[in-house]
A = this chain, B = another copy of it.
């Protein structure tokens, strides 16, 4: 029957869809792995370049007087402090991107690999379950076909028995019609012959009647069987399409979204951690920029060269031999001039 063929085609199609879905998942997970492997490479290279950059300028400053001062008292000119923090920030970025690369390689990618394996395994599992479900469904459909055929056969037999019965009834009527004719001119022998013929017909009619009843009953029973099986089949098909098929998809999906969620959260958390670290470093620099202060730098600058910036001794009065006066004298003759 074409409807059964159609369902059989459906079942094959469904398996194909699930297989295709799994293939797409495996492909997606492969892409994700390739993507993160390549991104890990980029992050590593970026990290190395930043490290080299920091190292180059660190080496340069390590030899300067300022740096030795820094080691000693941590009291730097404010712009130099900013400069050192900039180099520290590059170092921090370098480390953070190396960590990111590391998490990609040793955690995120591993997870995607695992999910891919799990997807394939779960698809196989669902395929096994589907095989059993499909077999059961086919058995039901075959059963339906069988009982329908049985019904049709019995019904055909019943019709045939009925028509034979009707034929017998017709013959009987004909015979009764003939015996209703004036029989006076019929020979006794012939009459006898007719009676036995009537009897024969009656017997045949009875037999056919019995046959018909039997076939009729068989046909009804077969039809009932068919109707009940039909109902059961529709229920089975419905159950398969509404529940089992959904369960099969669920079986393929088992853990897929949750694992993907965890893997992507690992990625996100690594990225957010990098961001937090980066932000902390920038805040430290911002604080140093806030503290760019000419006054304290001037103080420090003058302290660095005390000999040059210390005010000298006061000039003292150099008295000439024996002159004991060392204040402005305002005696009479001078006073007038001083007044001017």
Q: Are B334 and A3 interface neighbours, CB within 8 A?
A: no
Check if A42 sits within 8 Å of B32, measured CB to CB: no
Cβ-based interface call for A164 (8 A): no
With A293-B257, A320-B152 as known contacts, state yes or no: A25 contacts B79, CB within 8 Å: yes
Q: Smallest distance from the beta carbon of A87 to chain B beta carbons, Å?
A: 8
A297 at the interface (CB under 8 A from B): yes
B292→A260 contact, CB < 8 A: yes
Would you give the shortest CB distance from A153 to chain B, in whole angstroms? 9
Q: Nearest CB to that of A258 among chain B residues?
A: B292
Instruction: Give residues 137-156 of A contacting B (CB, 8 Å).
Output: 144, 148, 151-152, 155-156
A314: interface (CB < 8 Å): yes
Interface of A is mostly: helix
Assess whether A233 is interfacial by the CB under 8 Å rule. Answer: yes
Please report which residues of chain A, range 261-315, place their CB below 8 angstroms from some CB of chain B when the two chains form the complex: 261, 264-265, 268, 271-272, 275, 278-279, 282, 285-286, 289, 292-294, 297-298, 301-302, 304-305, 307-315
Nearest residue, chain B, Cβ from A85: B264
Binds B, one of A172-180, A202-210, A324-332: A324-332
Selected from B21, B49, B294, the residue in CB contact (under 8 A) with A301 is B21
How distant is the Cα of A331 from the Cα of B219 in the complex, in angstroms?
13
In chain B, what residue has the closest Cβ to A333? B217
* Contact residue among B66, B294, B326 (Cβ-Cβ distance under 8 Å from A253): B294
User: Would A238 and B57 count as touching, CB distance under 8 A?
Assistant: no
Identify the closest chain B residue to A253 (Cβ): B294
Question: Closest CB-CB distance, A234 to chain B, in whole Å?
Answer: 5
Does A317 interact with chain B (Cβ within 8 Å)?
yes
- Tell me which residues across on chain B come within 8 A of A16, comparing CB atoms: 308
Q: Determine whether the beta carbon of B249 is less than 8 Å from that of A261.
A: no
Is there an interface contact between B83 and A241, defined as CB atoms closer than 8 Å?
no
Residue of B nearest to A255 (CB): B294
User: Which residues of A pack against B, CB within 8 Å?
Assistant: 3, 6-7, 10, 13-14, 16-17, 21, 24-25, 28, 31-32, 34-35, 38-39, 42, 45-46, 49-50, 53, 56-57, 60-61, 66, 78-80, 82-83, 86-87, 90, 144, 148, 151-152, 155-156, 159, 217, 220-221, 223-224, 226-228, 230, 233-234, 237-238, 241-242, 245-246, 249-250, 253, 256-258, 260-261, 264-265, 268, 271-272, 275, 278-279, 282, 285-286, 289, 292-294, 297-298, 301-302, 304-305, 307-315, 317-318, 320-323, 325-329, 331, 333-334, 337-338
- List 12 interface pairs A-B (beta carbons < 8 Å), by A numbering: A24-B66, A28-B79, A46-B49, A155-B323, A224-B328, A250-B298, A256-B294, A257-B293, A258-B292, A261-B292, A268-B285, A275-B282
